[in-house]
Amino acid sequence: MENMTLLDFARGPGLQWALWIFCLGILWRIVGAMYLLSSKDVSKARRKHYILDGLRAVMTRSAPAEAFEANIRFQHISGYAWHLALFVSVLFFAPHILFFESMLGFSWPHLPNTIILFSGAVATALLLALLIRRAVHPVQRLISTADDYISIVAVFLPLVTGIAAFAHVGARYETLLAIHLLSVELMLIWYPFGKLMHAFMTFPSRYQSGTFFGHRGVKA
């Protein structure tokens, strides 16, 4: 333990504690949401097949309402592009796949490093652009909270440090890798308690909203 390096800590106890907090935090949030929805709605349903309203909300709320499209087109397009670039960077980088294989027991094909680097750079640039827009746009700035900025930074740091480690820029590779892993672990710790949790809650919340309004005869 006395000779443990920063990289040893990041690969060992740091990662283990981060994963435990991440998993328990996710479980806590999901159980809490299920508890809030456990109360039965005793009002008379205005629509016979209101459950279909929930499924419709899941499918249709992935795109903004036509009335708002012109005002949020930048966020809409860049948001989807960012998620796609992040998806490619995280799930198709060979070292990441080896890490997932160590936990899941199976793997999948990886993409060339040039594509991964390009995807990471695109994801980083788009996230920075979205952060700047949030900070300077009067409406977005007004409705933003500390959670929004912390969540953006929590994702931004692993992207930047990952690119730096990949390119061996700024320090020794072992140091860069340790910093990258620590930034990922900080993101995992924050994940269940901030708006990053939307990755787990988006579709269930849309379904719940659709059934809630459908039960009352209102189109969600």
Higher pLDDT residue, 40 or 99?
Answer: 99
109-137: pLDDT as tens digits:
999 999 999 999 999 999 999 899 889 98
In total, the chain counts a number of residues equal to 220
Provide the pLDDT for residue 113. Answer: 94
In one-letter notation, the amino acid at residue 35 is Y
Mean pLDDT for 160-182 is 93
Best CATH choice for the domain 6-36+43-215 from the list 3.60.21, 1.10.3470, 1.10.10, 1.20.950:
1.20.950
Distance (Å, rounded) from C-alpha 32 to C-alpha 47? 28
69 pLDDT tier (thresholds 50, 70, 90): low
- What CA–CA distances, in Å, run from 62 to 11, 141, 191? 37, 23, 22
b/e string for 122-147 if b means 16 or more Cβ within 10 A?
Answer: bbbebbeebeeebeeeeeeeeeeeee
Structure tokens at 201: 């809650």
Please provide the average confidence, as pLDDT, over all residues in the chain: 85
Mean pLDDT for 91-110 is 92
Provide the pLDDT for residue 180. Answer: 96
103 pLDDT tier (thresholds 50, 70, 90): confident
* Residue 24 exposed, middle or buried by CB count within 10 Å (0-12, 13-18, 19+): exposed
Q: Which of 24, 85, 90, 46 is nearest to 219 (CA)?
A: 46
